[in-house]
């Protein structure tokens, strides 16, 4: 049977050691048994708790901010404006955003085309069911298709993702303090069990990993200053995601005017290099808890690593974007609410809405864990 486990075993038997990025790709995204192909509900009933599963307030706050941005686009553009969401999972966030825009900004809503970037036919089906009451929606599998429909009409609007970048496959690199060199952690077999295997020959990048490398070592690591390397402990581990960086670059190149937004678990580069993160940020979540073994339960547990937002920010700026905001979700959402309160856009909140906002912004809940990056092109 063509399951992720069987494919991983076959590829290890051929090569000896499999790049962890390839292991993660198969475990999460394989159409026959990948974790994100399962019929599940993110949130309290799933293996992870998200801003979307807190309630519809998260989408409504984003909708208010999107409207503030898009009203300016509408005034300067005769064509329609677009909201592009990538990694929408079941489409609930899109539904919350569209509902609020339809009620509170009806004229703007009529000018908006909402586009899902979704390569998975199964997830497309979930999304279609969720937003079936809206007509101004479309599905594309990737940015190449988005470029095709934009040949005669450039993309003006917003491209955004929520909890997407941290789910892209990562490579894991470790520091050999004695040898003053990096090595890569791959995946090997010990009988029927998947185990970590160190290799000094950097493993070939997977399909789509176009980020500049030196001997397949990502440039973001290769160019680290020697003063930092001199104090790194032996075995210090860090993850990199060339796929995430390439995704951001593709999005930046598609955007004619507007904003590119990412909301995700992540840190700035200087925060990643911390004694508290000597083992990296890679985590597995299985049945509501952190799993002890990242390589176990293939296709049944979520795998995630913190986004290096400094690397993503640099990719965007190199592509001509201007960074407008980078910070914690609590600061981002609180500022949205401050502006909205001036014109009473949300009216008086009930107890449920207040609790949702507290969960979204409290440092001990989701407020500090999530970071927001907003970059723009004019």
What is the per-residue pLDDT across 348-367, written as a single tens digit (0 to 9) for each?
A: 888 998 999 899 998 877 86
Which class for 315: exposed (0-12), middle (13-18), buried (19 or more C-beta within 10 A)?
buried
Q: What is the pLDDT of residue 43?
A: 46
Q: pLDDT digit string (tens) for 76-96?
A: 665 679 999 999 999 999 999
Task: Give the lowest-confidence range in 162-166, 214-218, 325-329.
Answer: 214-218
237 neighbors 278 (Cβ within 8 angstroms)? yes
> How far apart (Å, rounded) are the C-alpha atoms in residues 102 and 174?
50
- pLDDT above 90 for 163: yes
| pLDDT confidence tier of residue 1, bands split at 50, 70 and 90 | low
Q: What is the pLDDT of residue 68?
A: 95
Positive or negative, the Cα torsion across 349, 350, 352, 358?
positive
Q: What is the pLDDT of residue 211?
A: 40
Give strand pairing partners of 183: 174
Residues 6+ apart with CB under 8 A from 50: 42, 43, 162, 163
- pLDDT above 80 for 373: yes
Going along the chain from its start, the domains and CATH numbers come out as 51-167+246-270+306-377 (3.40.50.12710)
| pLDDT confidence tier of residue 249, bands split at 50, 70 and 90 | very high
- pLDDT above 90 for 135: yes
Mean pLDDT of 184-191: 95
- Measured N-to-C along each axis, helices 92-104 and 57-76 cross at an angle, to the nearest 10 degrees, of 60
| pLDDT confidence tier of residue 58, bands split at 50, 70 and 90 | very high
């Amino acid at each position: 049977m063509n399951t992720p486990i069987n494919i991983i075993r076959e590829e290890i038997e051929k090569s000896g050691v499999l790049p962890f990025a390839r292991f993660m790709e198969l475990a999460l995204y394989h159409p026959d048994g990948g974790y994100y192909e399962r019929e599940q509900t993110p949130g309290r009933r799933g293996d992870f708790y998200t801003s979307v599963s807190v309630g519809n307030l998260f989408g409504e706050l984003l909708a208010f901010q999107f409207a503030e941005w898009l009203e300016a686009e509408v005034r300067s553009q005769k064509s329609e404006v677009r909201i592009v969401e990538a990694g929408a999972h079941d489409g609930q966030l899109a539904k919350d955003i569209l509902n609020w825009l339809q009620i509170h900004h009806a004229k703007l809503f009529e000018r908006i085309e909402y586009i899902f970037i979704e390569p998975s036919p199964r997830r497309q089906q979930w999304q279609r069911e969720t937003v079936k009451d809206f007509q101004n929606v479309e599905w594309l599998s990737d940015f190449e298709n988005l470029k095709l429909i934009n040949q005669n009409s450039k993309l003006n609007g917003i491209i955004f993702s929520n909890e997407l970048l941290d789910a892209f496959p990562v490579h894991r690199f470790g520091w050999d303090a004695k040898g003053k060199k990096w090595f890569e952690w791959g995946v090997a077999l010990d009988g029927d069990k998947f185990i970590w295997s160190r290799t000094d020959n950097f493993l070939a990048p997977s399909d789509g990993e176009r980020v500049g490398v030196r001997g397949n070592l990502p440039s973001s690591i290769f160019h680290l200053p020697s003063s930092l390397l001199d104090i790194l402990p032996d075995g210090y581990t860090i993850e990199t995601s060339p796929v995430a960086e390439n995704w951001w670059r593709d999005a930046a190149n598609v955007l004619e005017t507007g904003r590119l937004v990412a909301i995700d678990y992540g840190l700035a580069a200087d925060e990643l290099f911390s004694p508290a993160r000597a083992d990296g940020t890679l985590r597995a979540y299985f049945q509501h808890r952190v799993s002890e073994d990242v390589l176990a339960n293939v296709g049944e547990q979520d795998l995630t690593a913190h986004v290096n937002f400094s690397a993503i920010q640099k990719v965007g700026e190199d592509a001509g974007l201007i960074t407008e905001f980078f910070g914690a979700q609590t600061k981002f959402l609180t500022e949205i609410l401050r502006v909205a309160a001036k014109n009473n856009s949300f009216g008086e909140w009930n107890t449920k809405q207040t609790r949702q906002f507290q969960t979204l912004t409290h440092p001990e809940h989701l407020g500090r864990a999530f970071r927001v990056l907003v970059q723009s092109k004019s």
